[in-house]
Amino acid sequence: HIRKILAYSSIAHLGWMIVVISYNPPLAALSLSLYLIMTTTVFLSLMINNTTTLNTLPLAATSTPALRIILPLTFLSLAGIPPLTGFLLKWFILSELVKQDLHFFAFFIGMSSLISLFYYLRLAYIVTLPSPGTTTGTLPWRLPRPKQSLLLPLCFVLSTALLPIAPALQALTLL
């Protein structure tokens, strides 16, 4: 189930926030807010097609083609891949730990994020795989329109494209 994977993800991200909260509380608050935006993007994307299991994930991406772009990029952002917003959070937290001379601790949590990277890459791979072939006789002529949500595009942009305003966000954590 996807919920179990995302629950483990929440625990891992909470660990990053707990590590930094005693050194820089505004950075922990920024991490929490951006993490909530990223998970909101994932949950809204999954709610559009009532997707709850890994088996139905490729089928959901077939019925709503935008999910083939939104979900993998959001999963990679949650994993902390560099050009995305999730990397920004980990970068700020690691730099704060290095400023506090906690080099070993920064190395340890940086390496522990590789576990999360593994399952996020797996989820992104599942979404981008083509769905299993269906016979043309069983396909409906017109596919039902997916539920529309104005919050999903906004959350998607925020969860993937905040890296250019990183200096402004870092200035907020210094206040």
The reply to whether 143 falls in a domain is no
Q: What pLDDT score does 104 carry? A: 93
The contacts found for 4-13 with CB under 8 angstroms, 24 or more apart, are 5/119, 5/123, 6/39, 6/42, 6/43, 8/119, 9/39, 9/78, 9/116, 9/119, 9/120, 10/39, 12/112, 12/113, 12/115, 12/116, 13/78
pTM equals: 0.81
The reply to whether 31 falls in a domain is yes
The reply to whether 172 falls in a domain is no
The larger pLDDT score, comparing residue 24 to residue 134, is at 24
The reply to whether 23 falls in a domain is yes
20 — alpha (psi -120 to 50), left (phi > 0) or beta? Answer: alpha
Summarize pLDDT for 72-100 with one digit per residue, the tens: 899 999 999 988 888 988 999 999 999 99
Q: What pLDDT score does 59 carry? A: 72
Spell out the residues 6+ positions from residue 169 whose beta carbon is closer than 8 angstroms to its own.
Answer: 30, 88, 92, 162
**pLDDT > 70? residue 111:** yes
> Region 16-24: what's the mean pLDDT?
92
**Please, where are the H alpha helices in 80-161?**
85-99, 103-128, 151-160
The reply to whether 46 falls in a domain is yes
The reply to whether 167 falls in a domain is no
- Highest mean pLDDT among 4-13, 18-27, 122-131, 145-154 belongs to 18-27
Q: What pLDDT score does 28 carry? A: 92
The number of domains in the chain is 1
Summarize pLDDT for 119-168 with one digit per residue, the tens: 899 888 888 876 655 555 555 555 556 566 777 788 888 888 877 777 77
101 contacts 23 by C-beta, under 8 angstroms: no
What is the domain extent for residue 35?
2-131
The reply to whether 39 falls in a domain is yes
Q: What pLDDT score does 173 carry? A: 74
The reply to whether 40 falls in a domain is yes
